[in-house]
Structure 1
Amino acid sequence: MSIYVGNLSYEVKEEDLNEVFAEYGTVKRVHVPTDKETGRPRGFAFVELETKAEESSAIETLDGAEWMGRTMKVDEARPRK
């Protein structure tokens, strides 16, 4: 499973997300998509933790939490169409 993290500050970096999600388990991967033309982060990211239990705990705790002046939307990532 992968976690979708939305409504992020455009200043957020992979290291920032790694630090936040490390409180819930072992972070396997963090991906912050960027705009192809500007190179600027797009305001969302994907995070993978070691186990589904860790991911579920992170989703429950962080969904709706305020971070860097924004209210995060944290949910299970949906497969690409």
Structure 2
Amino acid sequence: MSQRMGTKLFISRLSFFTTTEQLKVLFSPFGVITEANLVLDSRTRRPKGFGFVSYESEIQAEKAVKAMNGRIVDGRLIFVEPAKVE
């Protein structure tokens, strides 16, 4: 049937002004966050507009995807999906 979702989410199209702390606050209503980080440009050290959030359980991650995918955050339409694990 379907593959297990996992607990790590990929969030894209974030505002370049979103902070890691804001990301945690935004996604905390759906469960216990074990890790949250924004991907930074190696040269400028500024956010690239995407990041990752990890939860304690798959159920919490699923709730976050359902609630946050396609929402407007800081004037931007964001996308939330399970992170691809290699």
TM-score by length of 1: 0.95
Partners of 2:71 and 2:39 in 1: CA distance: 21
Between structure 1 and structure 2, the one with the greater Rg is: 2
What is the CA–CA distance in structure 2 between the aligned matches of 1:31 and 1:20, rounded to whole Å? 13
Q: In structure 2, what is the equivalent of residue 41 of structure 1?
A: 47
Alignment of 1:1-81 (within 5 A): 1=6, 2-80=8-86
Number of residue pairs matched?
80
RMSD between superposed Cα atoms in Å: 0.8
Structure 1 segments (4+ residues) deviating >2 Å: none
Percent identical residues:
26
Gaps of 5+ in 2: 1-5
